[in-house]
Amino acid sequence: MSIANIYRLGLKELKSLWADKVLLVLICWAFSGAIYEAATASSQELHNAPVAVVDEDRSPLSMRIVDAFYPPYFREPQPITLAELDRGMDLGTYSFTLVIPANFQHDVLAGRQPEIQLNIDATIMSQAFIGASYIKQITLGEVNEYLTGTRATSASPIRLVSRVRYNPNLTGVWFGGVMEVINNITMLTIILVGAAFIREREHGTIEHLLVMPLTPFEIMMAKIWANGLAVLVGVCFALTVMVQWVLKVPIAGSLPLFLFAAVIYLFAAASIGIFLGTLARSMPQLGLLIILTILPLMLLSGGVTPRESMPQIVQNIMLAAPTTYFVRLAQGILYRGAGLDVVWQDLLAMTAVGAVFFNIALLRFRKAVTRTQA
């Protein structure tokens, strides 16, 4: 009887969701356009960086350095004068400006080690350090090749060979697309379940449910499975169509294993949504609580910044959040091809944290039921 009640209540939730066109549009956008936008618009690679050059030497060597900057990393270098440099940087016209002094080639051939000034617009933090490294490598490479015929800087007693695993070309789209899917799972699950709970209260239907032979456990489980199913369908579409087909991101591990972990995480995130729904008294209050909850879950779970770079107290606090374990196991499965033997500890921890949140939400819901019946 309890399973039948949960099933029928879940169908009611799906019908309510189908009638709410705004939420339907939000779900469709979150697992389609938002994935593509986040993956392509927030790329961390250097791309079409505007460069200007003050070439006071105009020698074959200086012209060789200028010609070494080309797309897709840099735009075609713009020749400017020293008087135009500060204004161009102040207006944000150029991200990098290179000043090659007079007699540069003559001093290089004489072994005097002349200086080249590189001015960097540090307001573009995502590209400032990468661009400076690229420009240094390009400049030194061109000078060495001009002098010795090879781009090697100097003889070294060792040879460092780098092998990049899991993302050989260091393509930011691979990381951004998958992590946006994970972030949207968190956001939509909490929003949908919390909004469903508040909608029942605002429409007065929660009282109708309470006078029926239903328990708070059945009501909560119905909202969890129905809204979780809607999010899970979106996740399958996002990974197979947007991530693999549109963005061309390979999935290294088992997709069924990831979806199994996603089901457990949906249970945990939905429990957080119901808990917030028991705290809020209206949809605006729920919106404010969701903002205060979702942002830390996204930013501090390891999906944006490695947890190791965070303060120790933040790392310890985030162990109480299921998102921490889900992000870690999702990266392990989707990026590194990890199996159940690797991620089982995160699965157990995520299940335990989800159970704690579910029981807290259930306790608060029962207290609300008691007050209503009284």
**Under 8 Å between Cβ of 101 and 116:** yes
Write down the pLDDT at residue 159.
Answer: 61
Q: Round to whole Å and give the CA distance between 64 and 203.
A: 72
Cis peptide before 79 (omega within 30 of 0): no
Write down the pLDDT at residue 265.
Answer: 95
Write down the pLDDT at residue 43.
Answer: 61
Write down the pLDDT at residue 325.
Answer: 94
User: Which of 197, 195, 188, 189 lies closest to 220, judged by CA?
Assistant: 197
Write down the pLDDT at residue 282.
Answer: 84
Write down the pLDDT at residue 158.
Answer: 55
Write down the pLDDT at residue 210.
Answer: 67
Ramachandran assignment for 258, one of left (phi > 0), alpha (psi -120 to 50 degrees), beta (any other):
alpha
Write down the pLDDT at residue 351.
Answer: 94
Q: Round to whole Å and give the CA distance between 173 and 178.
A: 8
With tokens 């080690």, the residue in question is: 113
Write down the pLDDT at residue 249.
Answer: 87
Which residues, 6 or more positions from 105, have their beta carbon under 8 angstroms from its beta carbon?
57, 59, 60, 61, 62
The domain spans of the chain are: 2-42+171-373, 51-148
Write down the pLDDT at residue 247.
Answer: 87
Write down the pLDDT at residue 44.
Answer: 64
User: Which of 339, 198, 183, 342 lies closest to 269, judged by CA?
Assistant: 183
Length of the chain: 374
CATH superfamily of 51-148: abc type-2 transporter like domain (3.40.1710.10)
Write down the pLDDT at residue 125.
Answer: 66
Q: Round to whole Å and give the CA distance between 95 and 51.
A: 6
Per DSSP, 76 falls in state: P
Write down the pLDDT at residue 365.
Answer: 82
Write down the pLDDT at residue 374.
Answer: 52
Write down the pLDDT at residue 336.
Answer: 87
Q: List the structure tokens of 141.
A: 């490479």
Collapse the DSSP code of 182 into the 3-class scheme (helix H, G, I; strand E, B; otherwise coil) and give the result. Answer: helix
Residue ranges of the chain whose pLDDT lies below 50: none
**Under 8 Å between Cβ of 9 and 155:** no
